Amino acid sequence: MSKEMNSGMNKNKRCEKYREFFSKEYLMGPNSLQLLDEMMTKYPLKEGGRVLDLGAGRGITSMFMAKEAKVDVFAAELWISPTENAKDFLKWGVADRVIPMRVDANDMPFAQGYFDAIVSIDAFHYFGNEKNYFQDKILPYLKEDGVAIIAMPSLKKEIEGPIPELLLEWFEGDESEINLFHTRERWLEILGENKGYEVVMDFDLDCFDEAWNDWFESGHKYGIKDKEFFDRGLGDYLSFVGLVIRRQKKNEY
């Protein structure tokens, strides 16, 4: 996709106001603000709610939610220093709404039923692959009628048999990393049909090209490397899946 096409598709998006963050200093992969903007357009957050940003990275998704949805955000990230993120939140004028934390997604320190929404952008596939993970590790922290809003990379077709050479090369031969990627249908199977929650939306995101192009143009060395793989056809295998999962009220099950 050309820059001209990308610009035309983006011009009416909220995330366009944050183009200064489409850079190697803040992006850690395909543009998380593109993904979040689409998710929030299709399922808006309720103003004034309490939100967990699970896998917040450099904090730009937390900032976006605080500014655009006027919610209070817990920016939970394992690998980025909360001290560094706190400095940025102060600089961006959201320190009164965003709390930076170092959090392991398998051992979260929150009260049960605490959040109106748990949002995870380009992160859930790293820790959510186990069959009962959502039920055991995410659901307890949602209020009744609260939602989990998830966007993550996915496959267009589940891999059966030998792994395509291009995928194997992209993952540098690490099959365990490849096994984190699934089709939307497979993710629905992993989530299963359990009492207590329902999948209210599942779809492939429309901003696939835009999110990746922003990453390619960010100047990050891994973005440049990924562009080389896309030029060889990597994009034919990949998509982004969006999920919205609601915690049911007790009288619903």
202 vs 178: CA distance, rounded Å: 22
Find out whether 136 and 107 touch, Cβ atoms under 8 Å: no
pLDDT per residue as tens digits for the range 9-66: 455 799 999 999 999 999 999 999 999 999 999 999 999 999 999 999 999 999 999 9
What is the tens place of the pLDDT at every residue in 188-234?
999 987 889 999 999 999 999 999 999 999 999 999 999 999 999 99
Instruction: Tell me the whole-structure pTM to 2 decimals.
Output: 0.93
Q: Tokens 């007790």 label which residue? A: 250
Instruction: Reply yes or no on domain 3-252 having CATH 3.40.50.150.
Output: yes
CA atoms of 215 and 175, how far apart (whole Å): 24
Task: State in Å, rounded, how far the first CA of the chain is from the last one.
Answer: 46
Domain boundaries, the chain: 3-252
- Strands of the sheet with 142-155, listed across from one edge: 98-102, 72-77, 50-54, 115-121, 142-155, 238-247, 197-204
| DSSP symbol at 164 | P
Taking only the tens place, the pLDDT of each residue in 51-92 is 999 999 999 999 999 999 999 999 999 999 999 999 999 999
Would you state the pLDDT for residue 193?
A: 77
